[in-house]
A and B are shown apart, each in its own frame.
Chain A
Amino acid sequence: MMRRLLIGLTALAALAALPLALLAWQRNLSDTTPPPAAPVSLTRGAYLAAVGNCAGCHTARGGARLAGGRPIPTPFGTVFSSNLTPHATGLAGWSADDFWRALHFGQSRDGRLLLPAHPVTNTTLVTREDADSLHAWLQAQPAVDAPRRAHELRGFYGSQLAIAAWRALYFKPGVYRPDPARDTAWNRGAYLAQGLTHCSACHAGRGALGGDQGPADFRGGLLAGLGWTAPSLLDPLEAGVQRWPDATLQLWLRDGQAGAHAAQGPMAEVVLGSTAALNDADLAAMSAYLRTLPEQAVARPEPAKADLRRRERGAGLYRDHCAACHGEQGEGRLDDSGNPAYPPLAGSRLVTQASPTNLIRVIERGGFAPATAGHPRPYGMPPFAGVLDAADMAALASHLRQSLGHAAGDVDTVEVLRLKAAAAVH
């Protein structure tokens, strides 16, 4: 009797200790990083902050730069970004070591674990010298008084224990290790793409817990709450650039437009906030890396049942609303200076991607390519939200995906409504 009680108590104690052990483990990861190999440079820090697009998340719309407060929708609720300026409400008093722990271990100065909305699986790859330069530059920015807004996460998702559990599953700290089989440029591209520019923050294929397969997971997925899909960078039929010429990709990353290829939606924001700032060597490096990603086809979900009447209705809508700009045969139009004005829809990946999310999104809300130094006056498409209802959009999308030489599958009204609902989740 006594013995059984003892075993029971021990088991209970072990069970109670497990969360504490998990927390202690995640909060006290040991650091094996080599010391910085180069002195701190503010110029370098400014460049890295631009390329890493810190301000993209850490600036509220119309708010002071880097002062935080931008809502970041996640499947678990809304996260509000923090103030990175050297104010008491931000990073005032943070040493280079404190900042290093945040980037490398995803830990705040007081030891608390940062939410994985801060892309710690990417920032852990950043070298100590780059982190130190970033830190020095951030500390040199104007201090802004901007207390952080409390996150609005459901249930226990925001708890330290939940974060520790997530990290135990998905996070492994460590600076980028060059692949000796590849050249310097490729490794530089991999370092940037997997690390500071955190491409996988959007382009990863995430499971139900929001975990990915590491910083080179580019399988793509729906961006909950944004109403866009980040297409796979591994599948050339999605957004893979394995078959793009080097020059085209470099131009696209820099200008947001290359020939008929234009960056849309969140990617337009990324071009403006990040890749447009890449210097020539890093553009070439990024291109070298992205064009050699392994090819892997995405799973294509079963499309809606073919409905010829729906497609016919879509063809009519196309003639009425789309053909004037995109051409009767979806061939696109140039302007009289020879620049692409309206992209061809025949052969367009945005039309035929496995998920119709982005196609529906563009039909509904229109859009412009980003206005960049190399492409300052993009042509734009008006929103059709007030003109076409969900059934119209399904018809138009089905027509586009099943004509012009495409066989990407029909879209039904339910799917359109489902995507619109997913876009509204916050």
Chain B
Amino acid sequence: MLRRSLLALAACLLSLCGRAAPVPDTLAQRALACTGCHGKEGRAAPDGYYPRLAGKPAGYLYNQLLNFRDGRRDYGLMSELIAPLSDAYLKELAGHFASLDLPYAPPQPPALPAPELARAEKLVRSGDAARKLPACTACHGERLTGTQPGVPGLLGLSRDYLNGQLGAWRSGQRQAQAPDCMATIAKALTGAEINALTHYLAGRPLPADPHAAAALPGPAPMRCGGLQP
């Protein structure tokens, strides 16, 4: 008993009691408020609902923070959490997650017949000119890993998340600064096409170089509000 008390006293004197050890004064420490939902270091939550943040282009992440704060995207917990933060701080937090270079989880094997996956691949690579649908690759990059500074990659995301976002664009639940080109595209796609696309995208492994491309592969096929400088 006495021994335990003495040990406790010694620990106290070594300041193990009273205040706990200080935390590092870093953005990573501050970002722990985000990773509670978005998974360790922003690698996505295991349930697939909260997407990966790590390694997404900084401009894209920053735009999404503004969209949540200003009501163009609607998720109460997220909007409320960042409501009291300044543009400058949100930009710093976006930059923090963008700078993380972390391995990706393995893809989800697609459960669709090959012809449907082939149709999805054709949409991804070539779009459908007759319906004014651009190829995904025209903005999201030949490798589908996104383009700097504002277009996110489409790989390394769960099928549930991809379905959720395309559905939210169709219903108007998710919006971007006008003109909202992804809303136009999502509304032009059929339900079957979205299903095939998300099976295809969630089923593809990341390429050897998983980083976002430096720039769009060519002239942008549409004008997108979120990409204006």
Contacts and interface: CB of A to CB of B under 8 A. Distances in A.
- Does A associate with B in a complex? yes
A327 B19 contact: yes
A408 interface: no
A333 B22 contact: yes
B25 interface: yes
Nearest to B27: A377
Contacts of A371: 84-86, 88-89
Given A61-B70, A62-B72, A341-B29, A333 B37 contact: no
Main secondary structure of the interface of A (DSSP, over half): loop
B1 interface: no
Nearest to A337: B25
Nearest to A387: B36
Interface string B82-94: 1111101100100
A268 B84 contact: yes
Interface in B43-84: 69-72, 77, 79-84
A327 B20 CA distance: 6
Interface string A331-348: 111111111011000000
Contact of A62 (B19, B29, B70): B70
A371 B85 CA distance: 5
A384 interface: yes
Interface residues of B, number: 34
Contacts of B92: 377
Given A62-B71, A269-B83, A368-B84, A333 B19 contact: yes
Nearest to A60: B71
A169 B95 CA distance: 55
Interface string A350-378: 00000000000000011111111000111
B111 interface: no
B89 A382 contact: no
A366 B21 contact: no
A337 B70 CA distance: 33
B35 interface: yes
Main secondary structure of the interface of B (DSSP, over half): helix
Nearest to B16: A328
B229 interface: no
B215 interface: no
A44 B134 CA distance: 53
A272 interface: yes
Given A61-B70, A331-B18, A383 B89 contact: no
Interface in A372-398: 372, 376-387
A10 interface: no
B9 interface: no
A379 B33 CA distance: 8
Nearest to A332: B19
Contacts of B22: 333-336, 338, 341
B17 interface: yes
B147 to A, nearest CB: 26
B24 interface: yes
Given A61-B70, A382-B32, A365 B25 contact: no
B14 interface: no
A329 interface: yes
Which range contains the number of A residues in contact with the other chain?
35 or more
Interface in A225-278: 256, 268-269, 271-272
Interface in B105-164: none
Nearest to A326: B20
Interface string A267-293: 011011000000000000000000000
A341 B29 CA distance: 9
A335 B19 CA distance: 11
Contact of A333 (B20, B34, B72, B79): B20
The residue among B21, B70, B84 with the most chain A CB atoms within 10 A of its own CB is B84
A336 B24 contact: yes
B19 A382 contact: no
Contacts of A381: 33
Contact of A366 (B23, B29, B33): B33
A133 B80 CA distance: 34
Contacts of A337: 25
Nearest to A327: B20
B81 A385 contact: no
A387 B21 CA distance: 26
A85 B89 CA distance: 30
B84 A369 contact: yes
A327 B70 CA distance: 35
Nearest to A227: B80
A380 B33 contact: yes
Nearest to A267: B84
Given A327-B19, A377-B30, 13 more contacts: A60-B71, A268-B83, A331-B20, A332-B19, A332-B20, A333-B20, A333-B22, A336-B25, A365-B80, A368-B33, A376-B89, A382-B32, A386-B37
Interchain residue pairs A-B with the least CB separation, the first 7: A382-B36, A62-B70, A380-B33, A370-B84, A335-B25, A268-B84, A327-B20
Interface of A: 60-62, 256, 268-269, 271-272, 325, 327-329, 331-339, 341-342, 365-372, 376-387
21 contacts: A256-B84, A327-B19, A329-B17, A333-B19, A333-B21, A333-B22, A334-B22, A335-B22, A335-B25, A335-B29, A341-B23, A365-B80, A367-B80, A371-B89, A376-B86, A380-B30, A380-B34, A382-B81, A383-B37, A384-B36, A387-B36
